[in-house]
Amino acid sequence: MPIVGSPAAWTDRQDVELRRLSHSLGQAFADGFAISMKTDAGWESPTDAPFHQPRWEDLDEVSECGDASILSADNRLWIAIPLEVQRGQFVLWAESHADCSQAEIHIKLAQALLDNHHLSARATNLQLDVDCFAGQVTNDFEELTYLRRIPEILDVAKSSLDFFEVLQSILESLIHLLEAKGIAYIPQDVDIAPKWVGAPQVDAAALWLLVRLFGEEARHMPYVRNHFSETNPGIADGLDEFMLVPVSKSDCNRGWLLACNRVKPERPTREEQTWELSHLEFGTIEATLLGSTASILATHASNVEYFQEKEELLTKIVRVMVSAIDAKDMYTCGHSERVALYGRRLATELGQPEDACDRLYLSGLLHDVGKIGVSDAILNKPGRLTEEEFDEIKKHPDKGWSILQELHQLAYVLPGVLFHHERYDGRGYPDGLARDEIPLDGRILAVADAYDAMTSDRSYRKGMPQEKAEQILREGAGEQWDPDVIDAMFRAMDDVTWIRDTYKAKPKRRRDVEQTQHMKSALDPQ
């Protein structure tokens, strides 16, 4: 049975507890109940109740004692039930037309209903506590899973080293953990557009404005603002709450992460437990997670740059070694790089992954590095080599292996360097390997090396025509060379001949007087 005549000030603030208790009372008593609410001015009671109202001082007494009571005044009896909820103090009351003995029974029934209501409310609150703690445990587990997944993402990213791919993968996991509607990465370079994970919440201009306004504070600790649209209207329309952290390491700032607009839960929260506001706002936990993520991303970006610098240095060292080979044999200048380009194209044609193709390219550059240890007289001899001279030439794969085997970062080039003169039928050198015993890099470079040797000018002959080279390759498939690699060679022949025809060796840099003076000035402490 519904409560009648509730106060006007309470009309828009009805509470679940009052509804639940009124339903119980309506089932137990035939008469309707009215409700009075305590205000600063006193008790506000309904004006449309179908019975007489008790005195205000009596309602104060019932509210203070906290038990269901019988009120009497002017030969009238009332059953009064106090109730204190988060909305304030209330008393539910009804005029009783029973005699005193029946009124006592009614009051016991009302007290029992009130006690049962309190127990039910407590059980409900405890269940909410359990639900919240269970949710917190779930969140903690998800945070641990997220933090454990980050190293896996970074490990997978080592092959591509793409910062934005890593950023996307990490933020896609983080956005659900933060319960944010969107996370923006705002690059330090204003010419690069911000990138969003989740739904964009504000435009790029608003993002840059937020960085200008709050970026300096965010450098010291994560900057968190809740209820932002209420306190700062017009700055960023649609932004209710946000967190801002820098993606920085030491003095190098790479940009900013901004998580915004918390996803609101559908279930109601209880205001008396303030820690539950975390469902509505960004707090310390979310800010710490976002800040840690930004720090990890900044560290990863620095590591990537360091790794790339090492890779570039290694490549330059390789090119220096190749230049040393070219300096010894003027007729083979550019041979190593062309073999490397042919080899990479063949590896691609054979379906090798991109990183394997890049490694094969370096193997091709270094495949003849052992010739550094071969006599210049033999390398540049204008006529055919004697058997003894050819035996000396045949040592260059082992010499190349000996030169490179101490460089652990280049261990992957050793199979191509050592085995690019093995034959598919087992009659090659240095180890006489056959078929699949020969590493794939060796089989690929054997074809690339032979093709360039046939089509290039040498000290003792001119390069042979393309048709003749192709005929030799076809005839040697299955004997000298792997037939699968030969098939790939002919499938890619258009690209191979284009590489051959367009290749130009890089010009040698010459030192001039001005550069020498500049170098001396840089070294002079004066």
- 514 assigned to some structural domain: no
- 518 assigned to some structural domain: no
Please state, in angstroms and rounded to a whole number, the distance separating the CA atoms of residues 363 and 418: 10
Number of alpha helices (DSSP H) and beta strands (DSSP E) in the chain: 18, 10
The verdict on 94 and 52 lying in the same domain is: yes
Q: Which of 303, 337, 371 is the last residue of a domain?
A: 303
DSSP state of 262: E
User: Which pLDDT score, from 0 to 100, does residue 439 have?
Assistant: 94
- 89 in Cβ contact with 36 (< 8 Å): no
- 107 in Cβ contact with 51 (< 8 Å): no
- 135 assigned to some structural domain: no
Q: Which of 248, 269, 303 is the last residue of a domain?
A: 303
Helix, strand or coil, per DSSP, at residue 47 = coil
Looking up tokens 């299955």 gives: 478
- 439 assigned to some structural domain: yes
User: Which pLDDT score, from 0 to 100, does residue 463 have?
Assistant: 81
Q: What are the strands of the beta sheet with 69-73, ordered from one edge?
A: 42-44, 34-39, 88-96, 76-85, 69-73
- What is the tally of structural domains in the chain? 3
Helix, strand or coil, per DSSP, at residue 283 = coil
The verdict on 339 and 285 lying in the same domain is: no
The verdict on 383 and 458 lying in the same domain is: yes
- 405 in Cβ contact with 395 (< 8 Å): no
The verdict on 63 and 178 lying in the same domain is: no
User: Which pLDDT score, from 0 to 100, does residue 13 have?
Assistant: 41
Q: Could you tell me where the DSSP H helices lie in 367-413?
A: 376-379, 387-393, 396-404
What pLDDT tens digit does each residue of the chain (526 aa) get? 334 444 444 444 445 666 666 666 666 665 567 777 887 777 877 656 656 778 888 888 888 888 888 787 877 777 788 877 666 788 877 777 666 666 677 677 777 777 777 787 788 778 877 777 776 666 666 666 776 777 766 764 454 557 788 888 888 888 988 889 999 999 988 888 999 999 999 999 999 999 999 999 998 889 999 988 888 887 888 899 999 999 988 778 889 999 999 987 665 444 444 445 556 788 888 888 899 899 888 888 888 888 878 878 877 887 787 777 777 766 567 888 899 999 999 999 999 998 899 889 989 988 888 888 887 777 777 777 888 888 888 888 999 899 888 888 788 889 999 999 999 999 999 999 999 999 999 999 999 999 998 998 766 668 889 999 999 999 999 999 999 999 999 999 999 999 998 987 666 666 666 666 665 665 565 5
Radius of gyration of the chain (CA): 42
Q: 40: domain range?
A: 8-126
Nearest Cα neighbor of 451 from 364, 351, 526 is: 364
Environment class of 389 (CB within 10 Å of its CB; exposed 0-12, middle 13-18, buried 19+): middle
Residue 461, strand partner residues: 458
- 257 in Cβ contact with 293 (< 8 Å): yes
The verdict on 174 and 293 lying in the same domain is: yes
Q: Are strands 180-187 and 195-198 parallel, antiparallel or unpaired?
A: antiparallel
- 23 assigned to some structural domain: yes
User: Which pLDDT score, from 0 to 100, does residue 271 have?
Assistant: 44
Q: Which of 104, 126, 148 is the last residue of a domain?
A: 126
Nearest Cα neighbor of 448 from 438, 458, 456, 436 is: 456
The verdict on 232 and 336 lying in the same domain is: no
The verdict on 121 and 180 lying in the same domain is: no
The verdict on 397 and 484 lying in the same domain is: yes
Q: Is it true that the peptide bond before 430 is cis, omega within 30 degrees of 0? A: yes
The verdict on 167 and 275 lying in the same domain is: yes
- 457 assigned to some structural domain: yes
CATH code assigned at 56: 3.30.450
- 13 in Cβ contact with 87 (< 8 Å): yes
Please state, in angstroms and rounded to a whole number, the distance separating the CA atoms of residues 360 and 358: 5
What the block records as the tokens of 48 is: 């449309």
- 140 assigned to some structural domain: no
User: Which pLDDT score, from 0 to 100, does residue 270 have?
Assistant: 46
The verdict on 488 and 388 lying in the same domain is: yes
- 1 in Cβ contact with 92 (< 8 Å): no
The verdict on 349 and 417 lying in the same domain is: yes
Please state, in angstroms and rounded to a whole number, the distance separating the CA atoms of residues 75 and 94: 15
Q: Could you tell me where the DSSP H helices lie in 179-218?
A: 204-218
91 phi and psi, to 5 degrees?
A: -130, 125
What's the residue count for the chain? 526
The verdict on 337 and 209 lying in the same domain is: no
- 429 assigned to some structural domain: yes
User: Which pLDDT score, from 0 to 100, does residue 322 have?
Assistant: 77
CATH code assigned at 342: 1.10.3210.10
Nearest Cα neighbor of 331 from 462, 226, 161 is: 462
Sign of the Cα pseudo-torsion (193, 196, 199, 204, in order): negative
Environment class of 449 (CB within 10 Å of its CB; exposed 0-12, middle 13-18, buried 19+): buried
User: Which pLDDT score, from 0 to 100, does residue 9 have?
Assistant: 42
Half-sphere exposure at residue 179, Cβ-oriented, CA atoms within 13 angstroms: 17
Question: pTM value?
Answer: 0.54
CATH code assigned at 179: 3.30.450.40
